[in-house]
Amino acid sequence: MPLTVSRPELLVAGSDAEFRRLVHGLFGFLARHEAIREGHGARIGLAGIEYTVLISIAHLGVQGEVNVKTIADHLRVSGAFVTTVTRKLQSLGLVEKTPGDVDRRRILLTVTDKGFRLLDELAPSQRAINDVEFACLTRERFRLLLEIVEDLVACGDRAVALQRYLAADPAAGAEAKIL
């Protein structure tokens, strides 16, 4: 089988087996985490992504004003996607949209009292489940994992850009790299 990576840091004795083990382990974790997210949402009558957007608005709202771009950047999804989800949350009475004070074109997002009640209802089981999901992490490993994940997201953005570039121009060659 051809190697799936070429960087020496990712090869062990010339083999990519450990790299593939990492990728498949990440897939397994992410599948379980997605199931947990869906379960959190279902517990309060929402789809997983609706729950994620709702709780993101609530948490980011503590730090300041929240708009569609704030949520899109935070979750690394498109603004159009966030607009669609927040429209549904608004129709359920969980999110309120109001024009900004300074720029009336900018729509601010806030969680309604009903939305906060649902999040409060969810919190005890959410805490217990999250504590179990991440029980294997010490404080040091948690901080390291957080740093690694942030780095992986940035590298992932570059990898997606390269993949799109290669898909648009197959003649660019398999050896193309974005540094």
pLDDT at 179: 47
Same domain membership, residue 170 and residue 103: no
Q: Which residues contact 41 (CB under 8 A, 6 or more apart)?
A: 47, 48, 49, 50, 51, 52
Question: How much is the pTM?
Answer: 0.86
Assigned domain for 3 exists: no
| Spatial distance between the Cα atoms of 163 and 170, rounded to a whole number of angstroms | 10
- Quick one: DSSP state of residue 171? G
Supply the range of the domain harboring residue 144. 137-179
Retrieve residue 140's tokens: 């040091």
Which residue blocks in the chain are alpha helix, DSSP H?
17-43, 48-61, 68-75, 79-91, 113-133, 139-168
Number of domains within the chain? 2
- Quick one: DSSP state of residue 170? G
Same domain membership, residue 109 and residue 60: yes
Same domain membership, residue 177 and residue 162: yes
Same domain membership, residue 158 and residue 94: no
Same domain membership, residue 142 and residue 131: no
Assigned domain for 81 exists: yes
- By C-alpha distance, which of 71, 68, 75, 77 is closest to 100? 68
| Spatial distance between the Cα atoms of 4 and 165, rounded to a whole number of angstroms | 19
| Spatial distance between the Cα atoms of 89 and 44, rounded to a whole number of angstroms | 12
Same domain membership, residue 51 and residue 24: yes
Q: What is the pLDDT of residues 13-48, one digit of tens each?
A: 999 999 999 999 999 999 999 999 999 999 999 999
| Residue 98 contacts residue 84 (beta carbons within 8 Å) | no
Assigned domain for 130 exists: yes
| Spatial distance between the Cα atoms of 86 and 136, rounded to a whole number of angstroms | 34
Retrieve residue 178's tokens: 């974005």
Other Cβ atoms within 10 Å of 58 Cβ, number: 18
Q: What is the pLDDT of residues 73-106, one digit of tens each?
A: 999 999 999 999 999 999 999 999 998 777 777 8
Same domain membership, residue 98 and residue 14: yes
Assigned domain for 110 exists: yes
| Spatial distance between the Cα atoms of 72 and 97, rounded to a whole number of angstroms | 15
Same domain membership, residue 28 and residue 98: yes
Retrieve residue 109's tokens: 């997002």
Retrieve residue 154's tokens: 């940035």
Same domain membership, residue 112 and residue 154: no
pLDDT band at residue 161 using 50, 70 and 90 as cut-offs: very high
| Residue 111 contacts residue 58 (beta carbons within 8 Å) | yes
